[in-house]
Amino acid sequence: MRKHKFTWIDLLIIIVIVLAAVSVKSKFEKANVATNEVQKKDIEISFYIEAVPETVLNGIHIDSPVKESIQGSSFGKVTKIEKGPSVVFASDDSGNVVASEKEGYISLTLTMKASGELNPNGISLDKSVYYVGQTITLYAGNSILKDGRISYVNILNE
């Protein structure tokens, strides 16, 4: 039977393995600390859509839950519903693009109260970032609101 001598190469391999294990462990510990530091605040968000069928109001009520369609982020609950005349852009007889109303349609502004973080890089809701002016699709109550925009954001109680 052959006897194995402990060499410098064996020691070097053991040191590399121990250093790799320590660095992986410290990386995961730092990640856990970072996620615990985020403190969510109550945020008021307004969403404006220029033209939706008037029937969508049948599915939206105060306290209806609101979710964004792609990321599934919670936009909280509806606190205010404001309807106005629809705004549709089309060409007139002269070829100029003009705004007009469309029968059976309304413009809609939804105000919601959500839990998230407002920072210089946008609004963080459920690990997704959104911006004022961004076009998104929302599910509000039992209705879908396609291609509206975030029009206003404010931190509540600060």
The model's pLDDT over 108-155, given as tens digits with 9 standing for 90+, comes to 999 999 999 888 878 999 889 999 999 999 999 999 999 999 999 988
**How far apart, in whole angstroms, are the C-alpha atoms of residue 130 and residue 132?**
7
Q: Which residues have CB under 8 Å from 25's CB, separation 6+?
A: none
Count of residues making up the chain: 158
Q: What is the pTM of this model?
A: 0.71
**Phi/psi of residue 133, each to 5°?**
95, -10
List the structure tokens of 139. Answer: 């599910």
The model's pLDDT over 29-56, given as tens digits with 9 standing for 90+, comes to 765 544 445 578 899 999 999 999 999 9
Assign 61 a pLDDT band (cuts: 50, 70, 90): very high
**How far apart, in whole angstroms, are the C-alpha atoms of residue 149 and residue 134?**
5
List the structure tokens of 5. Answer: 């001598």
21: pLDDT strictly greater than 50: yes
List the structure tokens of 52. Answer: 């939706």
- Residue 157 to residues 107, 111, 124: CA-CA distances in angstroms? 29, 16, 18
Helix, coil or strand: residue 16: helix
* Contact assessment for residue 114 and residue 75, using Cβ atoms and an 8 Å cutoff: yes
Residue with tokens 């990321």: 71
